[in-house]
Structure 1
């Protein structure tokens, strides 16, 4: 390896490490996002060319782990103790008196108590080698790969400390939590109750890439073990952690109970000013020798206490219950409230989640209710104040029709969600269009979420069928489009008309009808007309189609909005038949193909469709069970593996000949 190249790699790593520290820890970036992305890409290119020089602490290795089968147990060398809670100033004064009786006058640190997930990080010779959850304090789980995705955790310390174990709290920033729940609500997924639950669920994802998407953060609050260093005070150790480029918990030194109580009150008043949720304030003896003298009980250290703040609750009146329809058609009730000040903001509404929630709490329009903020963020109704209920109130009734489009609503068989069944409901338009155009559905290249949103905002598309009447010159006027991009989009839409019926069925987004069910139904009935004419009994007689799927499909196909959509698509020339042969006429049944390299005759998606039409299966990885590897130009490691395993390899010419022989080659 040339010395200049090695020097460039090392220089890029140092620059990127410094930039990450300034951005994620100091919150004071000096490098622009553009420069950071440019340098990171250059480093990725160099490491790809010289893989033997990739190191675990490189900025490129933040999300490099494989999907895990499970988490290994880790026994903590130094136990991660929990703290004794106190709930009043009197109890806090009692804690202080016990400490002073034992060790005399002393100083304390007072810190906010982060409501997250406690972890231990281990470093050897300055390199991050392992991270584990607290678990029961003695045994936790190895979540190293997920912790690597947290960009405020240094993978290499500025000083090669022989050995260091530190403790911190992983959290999800408030802004990230709000955005994540908004996305989950739009997608019809269950909401996280609070940032702590969201952080815990994210840190225990088996796929590190999912954890990375959740944008977790961490704040350090203790040195568990250190070699080559010694400290007199806890505050001194925190400053050491700061020097090691960790994000460290803010703290104040207090000399007496009056100062402690004043700081506890200040933290409580400023709860919403932190980037993370806090559920209390932690009071710790600062001098480490005094901590050793005080020791611990069987459960808690005697040198620390956690003051817990009670949730702020206030009364408000339910002025109305409004139904909102999400992108997946879920009807979500929301209470309109008389304004009330909670946790630093004015609250005028609260989610009521679903029909069951309303019935369980018996919430009615006109009721006086007790309101609080779950996790200091999301307003929620705690309970009704029955003695203040007006005499003329009535139990709330959920609507039987969608308030947006008027289509009937139905309840999920496996949950409490009630959904609009409309195929062209405006409330679901963005989600429906994005799904309709997605790769596994109609595969309209270039029609992603941002362009879908622009088309809807411009009023060009009000239902999926409108895509097929778009004009290139009109689309070209949209922001960030231009004539060439518009022409490419129209061409992609035109190509999608030739897709197999199975893709169209999946594109409709019918509840319970996924890719597999769509392929089974398309192969069995052969055409959309035949499918529409089928009874529920005929649908359930199809292999792998159960009664729930059959009912959902039948209701959807016979709704007025679906009938209109199908009519529009027929008029536009969209294919509504299947090229897939019935089960008894599938010559490639039981055969598994792997595609690698570039084919001239087909795209990979088209080649896969040809294989599946003849009953074959397409896989992304080569194994001894693979029947054939189809190798196009510039075939890579899959070809090498196939040759090593003795798997038959087909050239593009061989592949086309096989399709012709089996009746599956109709031209690209």
Structure 2
């Protein structure tokens, strides 16, 4: 139930500002029906069998996406959101739920009007009511709809971490808290939620096997009608055996202290998974007045998800300088950490086909090393799917040295390599610069720019007179680059280390080498030797070598 209420409350705040899909009403109804049916299947498995078929974060985000679509196209926002298991046992004090804030500014506004505030980690588990009468655990009730829940008493009595007997003020008390999956040195930022919620739910719903209950802990976050003084509350809970509440309940003196603690808990070693920070006032109304959705004395500020769901807007194919076709997914923009992610590499055509991704699919994306966006998995495929056709297999290591309509992508990839530090190191001339030059001068092959005059470069639209003069000087300096740099720029299928070991200084000397000669070099096997021979005798490569010789380039 907590899974349901947290997802809906969190995402209700955000769906109204999201961009609506450009769909016909018929397509919208088809997509909404398909996703609604999937979420219902997940709900049934989770609540009836205790089995989580999808990660909690993914579930929450897809549930939010469904809510967004229903809002955009006039769907029913409530009928499919009803909890699967409402329960029949009345809570002595209702669960209010926790309102979510999405920014530092929003929590600052909330804190401004309140005093005596405390903060706790938002423990990721399942909510429970514990009722003690005459010092003994009398009832344990699942959250349900906040007013009624399932009777978990028998199961909770078998959880070692839950005190079965208490004394003093707690002897007749109602406590609200979280049953969570015990972890050792759990670092949320590195490890994520690890489906901790689902594991607890599954253990509680098992009909016979109680062995997993020993791996469940309890965190009390509220004592309705308990002491008004928080230190006294924490002391009583600790003495009763609820030992985690006190060390993880800290005074919230300012929004800056909340922000700092939120960051700290996300990266700290904790005994439980968390998904944010909770700030609550110590002064609360009497428990008899509590109602679901009306607990304005407590808010949660969740962590920014490490991975987010994004919709695939389109699938593009790019051709690299060696002819390798790569696939790029263009995404509905998402914010990951400090990056605005709008595209992610899907790798080769074969990998894209195995992933089975089409425009309209929902994918989970995160940041890999150095902040590079990566696709983690496909979480939902649309009901109406149309996959684009990849380019024909006409590109390879010996294609597109010359410009032609079907060759432009590989042609510009070759030019970009030539200008790079690995090639001829032409400072400041990237792909866009090459496109500007080619659009104005329409040169024939990858080295035709050597024939451009100073006047032509300075008169190129989009290139300033000063920049044109600088390019002319750079092109002249490039002529003096050593022979090996030129053949590397041409795309020779050998590393610079191998070429240095070969000691070749001219095109003629390279032509005199046999496959066996090349294979004798370090790092050059039989296949690599065949590749270099094919490259050397390619008509386009041979024509380029002759053209460079006419330009008096050293070694040709």
Same fold (TM over 0.5): no
Output the TM-score relative to the length of structure 2.
0.41
Larger RCO of the pair (alpha carbons < 8 Å, separation 6+) = 2
Output the TM-score relative to the length of structure 1.
0.35
